């Protein structure tokens, strides 16, 4: 019988001990992976949303910062307006390289004239846009024509329809952007011309007309010239145009970032406590097991087993259980996070993006190593004590 077989036999002989260690490893690895995926997924999603906007500064009407941030992150449509002349005023600033206005619109709720209920629609100006247009030129090789649209990852044309119906007007979906895990994945991007066409047509084709106030925009995206700090430029904008709020890129989604950081701190604390408790439980169980098996270990030593083989057989036993429990916990946790990602996003009110496969494999490997290390640490003292015990003394005890 080799070391591995001895460990397997010991595992099958004591169900309570084996299950306890298995479940400790299962819980620690599963909980750690789930939390890591959620926190990391939310952070990654925020970074991607920032990249997708591609602006150094976002200018919105005063008091609507939270509404706009929530719309961009969670995809809940918003209705905010500011005068269009703001764009000209900001464009005159020497620090501003480019500025592009946007209109934030929404489809009607449960109306036959809209394919999708309460969908966030972003209209951009193709003449000045620097967020969607470069992507379009790369993929389509041209700008969007009137009546065409680009969707986020989850936007699709309803089966059997010629396009997505918005206020009674069909728009053709020309492609989908890469996922960001935010509300932008459920948003539809159209040009200003298409938006104004839809508004005009909606008076006769829709249950309610689409209202776009004259000479108004919802937000403006700004790129700052090299060598200028976005924070200083945004302060200058707010001083010169008091009716707007300028949010520089690092400050964008700050409340969400703080929320995620707060969650991460709590998660690491709970995880640390759970890890220490698990180490203590496994240590206690193995100490009891080694004491209960002292005669058996002494017999093994008397029959010629070395201290080293006794030590490694106990270590192998614990690590086999930890590996099994850890792998099961990681697999179940990864599957649960993957399957319930939409529920997580809506319940936590946080954006979320799953990691890529190599990233996931890396995290899984780290997870299993942490579990094996934790169990090895907890088994080390009783295994060392058992291997050092004199066989004659152990048999007499």
Closest separation between CB of residue 15 and another protein, Å?
10
Nearest distance from residue 339's CB to another protein, in Å? 3
- Contact, 366 vs 64, CB < 8 A? no
Q: Tell whether residue 213 is a contact of another protein (CB under 8 A).
A: no
Residue range at the interface with another protein (CB under 8 A); choices 77-85, 134-142, 150-158, 265-273: 150-158
Using the minimum distance from each CB to another protein, give the nearer residue, 2 or 342: 342
What distance in Å separates the CA atoms of residue 17 and residue 106, rounded to the nearest whole number?
A: 58
Q: Using the Cα atoms of residue 309, residue 310, residue 313 and residue 318 in order, give the sign of their dihedral.
A: negative
The phi and psi torsions of 131 (rounded to 5 degrees) equal: -105, -50
Q: How far is the CB of 158 from another protein (least distance, A)?
A: 8
Both structure tokens of 181: 């895990």
Q: Site residues for another protein, window 169-208 (CB under 8 A)?
A: 186
Which one-letter DSSP state was computed for residue 175? E
158 binds another protein (CB under 8 A): yes
Residue 112 is a binding residue for another protein (CB under 8 A): yes
Beta partners for residue 189, in sequence order: 122, 150
Choice between 233 and 337, CB closer to another protein: 337
Place of tokens 């430029």: 233
Tell me how far CA of residue 313 lies from CA of 9, 11, 259, in angstroms: 11, 11, 46
Tell me the closest approach of the beta carbon of residue 326 to another protein, in angstroms. Answer: 16
For another protein, the binding residue among 137, 156, 288, 361 (CB under 8 A) is 156
SS3 9: helix
Of the pair 186, 294, the CB lying nearest another protein is at 186
- Tell me if 4 contacts another protein by CB under 8 A: no
Count residues contacting another protein (CB under 8 A)? 13
Smallest gap from residue 137 Cβ to another protein (A): 29
Distances in whole angstroms, Cα of residue 205 to Cα of each of 114, 125, 197, 209, 356: 10, 25, 12, 8, 44
Tell me the three state secondary structure of residue 15. helix
Of 284 and 339, which CB lies nearer to another protein in the complex structure? 339
Question: Which residue is listed with tokens 């939270």?
Answer: 66
Based on CB atoms, which residue is closest to another protein, 112 or 273?
112
The DSSP line for 130-148 is: -SSHHHHHHHTSSPPPTTE
Q: Using CA atoms, how far apart are residues 194 and 90, in angstroms rounded to an integer?
A: 25
Is the Cβ of residue 9 or residue 388 nearer to another protein in the bound state? 9
CB-nearer residue toward another protein: 15 or 303? 15
Interface stretch with another protein, choices 123-131, 153-161, 301-309, 377-385 (CB under 8 A): 153-161
Q: Which is nearer to another protein, 165 or 294 (CB)?
A: 165
Q: Give, as ranges, the residues between 309 and 368 that touch another protein (CB under 8 A).
A: 335-336, 339-340, 342-343, 346
- Asked whether 317 and 12 are in contact (CB, 8 A), the reply is no
**Residue numbers at the binding site for another protein (CB under 8 A):** 112, 116, 154, 156, 158, 186, 335-336, 339-340, 342-343, 346
């Amino acid at each position: 019988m080799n070391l591995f077989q001895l460990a397997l036999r010991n595992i099958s002989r004591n169900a309570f001990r084996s299950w306890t260690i298995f479940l400790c490893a299962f819980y620690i690895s599963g909980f750690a992976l789930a939390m890591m995926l959620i926190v990391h997924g939310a952070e990654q999603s925020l970074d991607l949303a920032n990249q997708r906007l591609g602006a150094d500064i976002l200018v919105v009407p005063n008091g609507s910062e939270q509404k706009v941030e929530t719309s961009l992150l969670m995809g809940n449509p918003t209705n905010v307006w500011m005068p269009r002349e703001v764009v000209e005023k900001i464009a005159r600033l020497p620090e501003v390289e480019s500025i592009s206005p946007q209109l934030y619109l929404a489809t009607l709720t449960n109306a036959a004239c809209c394919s999708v209920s309460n969908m966030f629609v972003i209209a951009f100006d193709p003449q000045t846009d620097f967020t969607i247009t470069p992507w379009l030129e790369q993929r389509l090789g041209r700008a969007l024509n009137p009546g065409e649209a680009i969707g986020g990852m989850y936007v699709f044309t309803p089966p059997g329809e010629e396009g997505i119906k918005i206020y009674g007007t069909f728009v053709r979906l020309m492609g989908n952007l890469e996922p960001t895990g935010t509300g932008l994945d459920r948003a539809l991007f159209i040009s200003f011309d298409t938006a104004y066409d839809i508004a005009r047509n909606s008076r006769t084709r829709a249950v309610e007309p689409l209202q776009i106030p004259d000479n108004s925009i919802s937000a403006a995206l700004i790129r700052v010239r090299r060598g200028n700090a976005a924070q200083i430029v945004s302060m200058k904008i707010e001083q010169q145009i008091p009716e707007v709020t300028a949010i520089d890129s690092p400050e964008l989604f700050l409340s969400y970032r703080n929320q995620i950081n707060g969650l991460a701190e709590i998660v690491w604390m709970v995880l640390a406590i759970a890890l220490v408790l698990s180490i203590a439980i496994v240590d206690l169980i193995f100490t009891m097991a080694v004491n209960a098996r002292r005669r058996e270990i002494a017999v093994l030593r008397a029959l010629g087993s070395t201290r080293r083989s006794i030590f490694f057989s106990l270590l192998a036993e614990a690590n086999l259980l930890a590996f099994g429990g850890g792998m099961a916990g990681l697999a179940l946790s990864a599957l649960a996070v993957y399957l319930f990602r939409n529920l997580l996003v809506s319940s936590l009110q946080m954006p979320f993006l799953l990691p890529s496969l190599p990233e996931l494999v890396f995290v899984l490997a780290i997870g299993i190593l942490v579990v094996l290390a934790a169990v090895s640490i907890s088994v080390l003292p009783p295994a060392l004590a058992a291997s050092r015990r004199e066989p004659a003394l152990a048999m007499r005890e």
